[in-house]
Chain A
Amino acid sequence: NAGVTQTPKFQVLKTGQSMTLQCAQDMNHNSMYWYRQDPGMGLRLIYYSASEGTTDKGEVPNGYNVSRLNKREFSLRLESAAPSQTSVYFCASSIRDYEEYFGPGTRLTVL
């Protein structure tokens, strides 16, 4: 099993550009999550999907959109990137007990 995979690993954008971060899991998990990690702030939940076909806002959803394409895939889109979105983004998935399995992360820099 590959577990949780994320692409790309690194990305540099200019302010105003758009991009989509991809996430896939092969563990047949129902729930998937997108977090951002910033120094001194821990992990903050952006959006999550408790099951295929549903998405909900987390703590910091502004400036982001998500799509739960199917049970395996959960993408995060930045429509118009801003420097405040410079961060490391982690995707995670879990089954019923909420133990989350994390992907390797995407390091995004917005200039």
Chain B
Amino acid sequence: AQSVSQHNHHVILSEAASLELGCNYSYGGTVNLFWYVQYPGQHLQLLLKYFSGDPLVKGIKGFEAEFIKSKFSFNLRKPSVQWSDTAEYFCAVNFGNEKLTFGTGTRLTIIP
């Protein structure tokens, strides 16, 4: 079955630390990849997306993600996090059908 895994359930970092959140999916075909962010009490917003081309994609607020096809991964990174990055982060994959499949999310807490 097609699935999306986010192994980090809760990550706690200090401000200015570097961030990497993992996302893996189980499918060998063509995929479209997304990272969404949900700030406390708000709805999901798109951070970045990958459809084709340069596997390193840049999104809003200094986030970037790298698509590594051989590892079925699309990890999210940020060189230096801020307190305002405290949120829940969701990886989502379109497996060539009409919908997205979401991971279970990673809660990120930034300590000032």
Q: B interface vs A, CB < 8 Å? A: 6, 9, 32, 34, 42-46, 49, 51, 90, 92, 94, 98-105
CB-CB under 8 A for A98 and B100, given A42-B105, A103-B43, A104-B43: yes
Residue in B43, B44, B51, B102 whose beta carbon sits within 8 Å of that of A97 in the complex: B51
* Shortest Cβ distance from residue B17 to the other chain A in the assembled complex, whole angstroms: 24
Contacts of B92 in A (CB 8 A): 100
Known: A90-B44, A98-B32, A103-B43. A48 touches B99 (CB 8 A): yes
Chain A interface, >50% SS class: strand
* A: number of interface residues (CB 8 Å): 24
* CB closest residue in chain B, given A41: B104
Contacts A40-B9, A42-B105, A90-B44; A100 near B100 (Cβ below 8 A): yes
In the complex, what residues of A have CB within 8 A of residue B45's CB? 102
Which among B34, B98, B105 is the interface contact of A50 at CB below 8 angstroms?
Answer: B98
Q: Which B residues are CB-close (under 8 A) to A61?
A: none
Contact check, A43 vs B43: say whether CB atoms are below 8 A apart.
no
User: Contacts of A97 on B, CB cut-off 8 Å?
Assistant: 32, 49, 51
